[in-house]
Chain A
């Protein structure tokens, strides 16, 4: 499961807030406490094949249901390797991991982490290229690319979050719209107009009002076209036909009043999802959480389809968010951590224990799919059809769409900070305060000056 929601929330973390409140007075102390490191070149991790595993490791995961799922997988790993002890800890990773890597104190042997954070801290992580090498061709290209810096792989790819088009099947049927005909984004506009003709109050397409999630969504649409905010050298590529195509489409949807502009799954958004104002949510697979748990009135009326393509025959999905596992360069037992993550990400037993039916998720974990392609086989579902989607086989839809996701580029360390520019300007575009050219020109200038030039 991806973690953008957690990321957004942790920006409000009280602990960091308290630290920041005294920043003016304490900045010197805080910065001094960081200390310097001389960890300038990554160390490559290799694994020996020397019989039964033994030893102990400390593993960090986020708290919540995912922790329970990983805990069960770890128990299975330990059952197969009785000589191994795993101290599995629920940690506020966004608040602690980067600081821990920099300070070098209390570093875990392995940790879950957002793909977006990995490239920025590569210097503090083990180079896992040699260990990943046997599996390279079997890992989703997008996941491999976001974990690769200067040709070296720093994260063990875990989940893939394909973008899908969630839609209200009942509303489309009433308006005579065939979901199978939504092949391009122009088709989506046409279908939205048809829905509005039937219901004058309808604003069928969800565009998000949260700058962070809005930019994450934008990157999904860019990834679908094989590009991203910066290339593998860190150079900006916002001024491109792909981004211009997205912004122009957004402007068209806004001008035609086809857009519900609300923050993701906040009360106003939920109300518009329930009352038929919204009918289309182009979003990551993890939107399925909403019909399953939040949309009580429309539960069972939602369905998922591949995203429309930007050009006829183009890719039908892009990735939105995602997470991997990292092994800190100062881990005490990195090889053992690798063995655990290898079990969880590329071994059948491990993947099944994470994604398959469990005490936490009786129907299986259905908010993402494995990044390991042999496990993401449309014919071999790991999670079950979803009642909240009318019994639809989401596994099949998601895994087939995911096959078309193009490779990407490492996510730059400044990506989250760029939300202050691109994320905000995207909101201005949706509010009609900027043109597509304005967004491209202004965001490029701001990101270049404040982030790229200072990286």
Chain B
């Protein structure tokens, strides 16, 4: 094989490699270097080794931000997996009347701009003039500080996230359901399996890959959650909705770029580990 013939494939992928190097590899390497420095954007970055990482790992605020994200994950992902699967099964039933309308209704929030919906959330959950507290007052219940109390701020944000992204979960799960062969259910019906038995013993196991994919995607989304707290609570009250993503952003806007970069890498490691656990669980079941 001539040299030019051997080089040809590399020439074909060269444009991609150049773009990747400029906009993927270089920024990553730069950010890694930056994470080992102190730099506010002015002057030269000062090399400080692992100090940014040490600072973050011993910072109560860093762990609190991860804790906030973890609580929101608990409030969102299990509910979304169960409710999403239930809704997907219902929506895949050909005998369901107005099925198309229901599908649109479930998926509409997913395609609605998040920032606009976040503004609606602010209005609806306002402590003094919100619709929700107004409804509570009508049945004799007191006002709740949905966005102003540390007890309720995370559930209120989690509800927004659920409302916004459950449509996406349903799309994923509906696609998974399409891949389950119909004869499997026909055989089960002939064998006398009840609807519940079919769901539990056939649908759920056959949907494991879709559910695992959803688990990974939503875990990533929750730990990167930014716009919801940024618009609705700005991380308050008292940092109770400062998610991992918002905490990272705070460093960058405070021109603490080295710490921001270190925070990015710690989050990458965390999210990578969580994803790995999910994938391992899937493989264990497959084996």
Contact = CB atoms under 8 A, between A and B. Distances in A.
B197 to A, nearest CB: 42
Given A17-B226, A20-B252, A417-B250, A34 B257 contact: yes
Interface residues of A, number: 45
A232 B255 CA distance: 21
Contacts of B31: 27-29, 31-32
Contacts of A34: 41, 257
A267 B226 contact: no
Contacts of B255: 98, 120, 413
B129 A31 contact: no
Given A21-B226, A28-B264, A38-B43, A450 B257 contact: no
A28 B261 contact: yes
Interface stretch (B21-29, B94-102, B205-213, B273-281): B21-29
Contact of A28 (B28, B43, B127, B254): B28
Interface string B32-54: 10100011111111000000000
A37 B255 CA distance: 14
Nearest to A13: B230
A454 interface: yes
A117 B55 CA distance: 25
B174 to A, nearest CB: 26
B215 interface: no
A123 B43 contact: yes
Nearest to A433: B238
B120 interface: no
Interface stretch (A130-138, A171-179, A275-283, A420-428): A420-428
B260 A27 contact: yes
A267 B129 contact: yes
A39 B238 contact: no
Interface in B203-254: 223-224, 226-227, 230-231, 234-239, 245-246, 248-250, 252-254
B27 A124 contact: no
Contacts of A21: 224, 226-227, 230, 245
A90 B28 CA distance: 35
Does more than half of chain A's interface fall in helix, strand or loop, or is it mixed? helix
A142 to B, nearest CB: 25
Contact of A24 (B59, B256, B268): B268
Contact of A12 (B30, B128, B129, B231): B231
Between A21, A33, A102, A428, the greatest number of chain B beta carbons within 10 A of the residue's beta carbon is seen for A21
Nearest to B232: A12
A16 interface: yes
Contacts of A414: 254
Between A23, A29, A38, the greatest number of chain B beta carbons within 10 A of the residue's beta carbon is seen for A23
Interface in A338-386: none
A26 B24 CA distance: 9
A31 B34 CA distance: 8
A29 B234 contact: no
Contacts of A267: 126, 128-129
Interface of B: 23, 26-32, 34, 38-45, 55, 59, 61, 115, 126-129, 223-224, 226-227, 230-231, 234-239, 245-246, 248-250, 252-257, 259-261, 264, 267-268, 271
The 3 closest A-B pairs by CB, nearest first: A28-B31, A28-B27, A29-B27
